[in-house]
């Protein structure tokens, strides 16, 4: 016999009571964990443990048939972790750029809405706030699939005592925003130089008459657009709601496969999760075959390099160092062995961190 709408709604209400009860029970246990962490001077957020919790939830969901969408479940768990962590005191996250930029969006996607976010006007300031304890973590851009590496981030990593403790990868979807609802009335379009470059074909096709102008950031472009109805800004969808602007066009980026990778920086390295990445900076002697010999060590130890990028050392002309990402954790035997060999043969090795891979 088919149940009535009222009966089904009553069952939903009963289930919701159980969910709220379990959330409160979880919060009480988490508060106990917080007290233990405080007594042992352990940082509130443990990114490796959080990944494990979310992974366990997704596996359990799969076992139960994944009736509830896995992507939504992951987002819910991130918010649960964020909210419960805030009971132990606000977790402060420094990030590069104003509100509603892609770095801000990346930080929220990882740490949840209940964290405290600190916008910074430079990448260097993000590192300073984490170094001096005014932020628990920092989020900075490291590379974009179209624009390449953010060299300033690499340069600061060389000199900081902080570690890379996580990474975030988000799609870069660009939106055309304005106070104006009629695209034909737009006379100027502002955005950050990267966003303008990434939507050049769209602008040439749809706005050949408009003046294209560079802003300090996508958020700054929105601030300008908010003051003038003939101006549009190119920014994220989140920026539309943050600045009260209309969306004139969605996904205007020329390349649809456009992603930016962000690093999470902190003071403590986490334990292996089984799906990790390690980053380091290596300098080799300025002699024939030096780089080949260094890279051969990774090959002999069956270590997969996912990235290698050269940078001027800034110590003398034509002297270079290499930023390297590789699969695995520094506690893995193969990586330990490789780093020992590299220390003997390389001019310089700086370990930057081992951390969970982003999905």
One domain, residues 314 and 301: yes
350: CATH: 3.30.70.260
31 and 67 fall within a common domain: yes
In a shared domain, residues 352 and 293 = yes
Dihedral, CA of residue 264, residue 265, residue 266 and residue 271, to nearest 10? 60
For 274, other C-beta atoms within 10 Å of its C-beta total: 10
Tokens 């570690």 belong to 163
Q: Is residue 349 domain-shared with residue 277, that is, in the same domain? A: yes
Q: Does residue 232 sit in the same domain as residue 279?
A: no
Residues 73, 103, single domain; the answer is: no
Residue 29, CB half-sphere, CA atoms under 13 Å: how many?
A: 7
Q: Tell me, what CATH number does 213's domain have?
A: 3.40.190.10
Q: Is residue 57 part of a domain?
A: yes
Does 109 lie in the same domain as 130?
yes
Question: Of 264, 288, 322, which marks where a domain is finished?
Answer: 264
260 annotated active-site: yes
Number of domains in the chain: 4
Asked if residue 164 is part of any domain, the answer here is yes
Per annotation, catalytic residue among 102, 175, 262, 322: 262
Structural domain range at position 192 = 175-249
Catalytic residue among 260, 278, 298, 322: 260
Structural tokens at position 326: 């590789």
Cα separation, 291 vs 300, in Å, equals 14
Among 264, 297, 319, residue at a domain's last position: 264
Q: Do residues 147 and 186 both lie within one domain?
A: no
Active site residue 262: yes
Answer with the one of 49, 66, 84 that is the final residue of a domain: 84
Question: Which CATH number fits the domain that encloses residue 9?
Answer: 1.20.59.10
Neighbour count for residue 357 (Cβ, 10 Å): 16
- CA–CA distance, 217 with 235 (Å, rounded to integer): 9
12/65 same-domain check: yes
**Looking at the domain assignment, is residue 109 inside a domain?**
yes
| 40 within some domain | yes
Alpha helices (H) in the chain, listed in sequence order: 5-39, 47-63, 70-86, 102-111, 123-131, 151-159, 193-198, 200-206, 218-225, 237-243, 290-300, 333-345
Considering the domain architecture, whether residues 138 and 180 belong to the same structural domain is answered as no
Walk along the chain (359 residues) and give the pLDDT tens digit of each residue: 789 999 999 999 999 999 999 999 999 998 888 888 888 888 778 888 898 999 999 999 999 999 999 999 999 999 999 999 888 777 899 999 888 899 999 999 999 999 999 999 999 999 999 999 999 999 999 999 888 889 899 999 999 999 999 999 999 999 999 999 999 999 999 999 989 999 999 999 999 999 999 998 999 999 999 999 999 999 999 899 999 999 999 999 998 888 999 999 999 998 999 999 999 999 887 778 888 888 999 999 999 999 999 888 777 655 778 999 999 999 999 999 999 998 887 778 999 999 999 97
Task: Clarify whether residues 182 and 204 are in a common domain.
Answer: yes
Instruction: Assess if residue 254 is contained within a domain.
Output: no
Domain co-membership, 168 together with 180? no
């Amino acid at each position: 016999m088919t149940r009535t709408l009222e009966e089904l709604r009553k069952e939903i209400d009963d289930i919701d009571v159980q969910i709220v009860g379990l959330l409160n029970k979880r919060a009480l246990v988490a508060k106990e964990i917080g007290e233990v962490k405080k007594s042992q001077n352990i940082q509130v957020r443990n990114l490796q443990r959080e990944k494990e919790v979310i992974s366990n939830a997704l596996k359990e969901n799969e076992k139960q048939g994944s009736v509830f969408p896995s992507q939504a479940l992951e987002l819910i768990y991130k918010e649960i972790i964020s909210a419960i962590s805030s009971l132990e005191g606000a977790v402060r996250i420094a990030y590069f750029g104003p509100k509603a930029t892609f770095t801000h969006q990346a930080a929220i996607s990882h740490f949840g809405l209940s964290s405290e976010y600190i916008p910074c006007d430079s990448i260097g300031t993000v590192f300073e706030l984490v170094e001096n304890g005014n932020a628990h973590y920092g989020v900075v851009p490291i590379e974009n699939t179209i624009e390449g590496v953010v060299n300033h981030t690499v340069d600061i990593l060389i000199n900081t005592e902080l570690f890379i403790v996580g990474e975030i990868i988000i799609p870069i979807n660009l939106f055309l925003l304005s106070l104006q609802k009629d695209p034909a009335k737009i006379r100027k379009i502002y955005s950050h130089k990267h966003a303008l470059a990434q939507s050049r074909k769209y602008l040439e096709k749809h706005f050949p008459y408009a003046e294209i102008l560079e802003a300090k950031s996508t958020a700054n472009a929105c601030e300008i657009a908010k003051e003038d109805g003939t101006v549009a800004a190119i920014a994220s969808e989140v920026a539309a709601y943050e600045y009260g602007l209309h969306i004139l066009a969605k996904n205007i980026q020329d390349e649809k496969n456009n992603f930016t990778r962000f690093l999470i920086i902190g003071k403590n390295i986490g334990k292996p999760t089984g799906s990790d990445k390690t980053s380091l900076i290596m300098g080799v002697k300025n002699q024939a075959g030096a780089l080949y010999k260094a890279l051969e060590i990774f090959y002999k130890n069956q270590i997969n390099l996912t990235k290698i990028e050269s940078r001027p050392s800034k110590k003398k002309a034509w002297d270079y160092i290499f930023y390297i990402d590789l699969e695995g954790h520094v506690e893995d035997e193969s990586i330990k062995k490789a780093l020992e060999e590299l220390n003997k043969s390389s001019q310089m090795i700086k370990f930057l961190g081992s951390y969970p891979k982003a999905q």
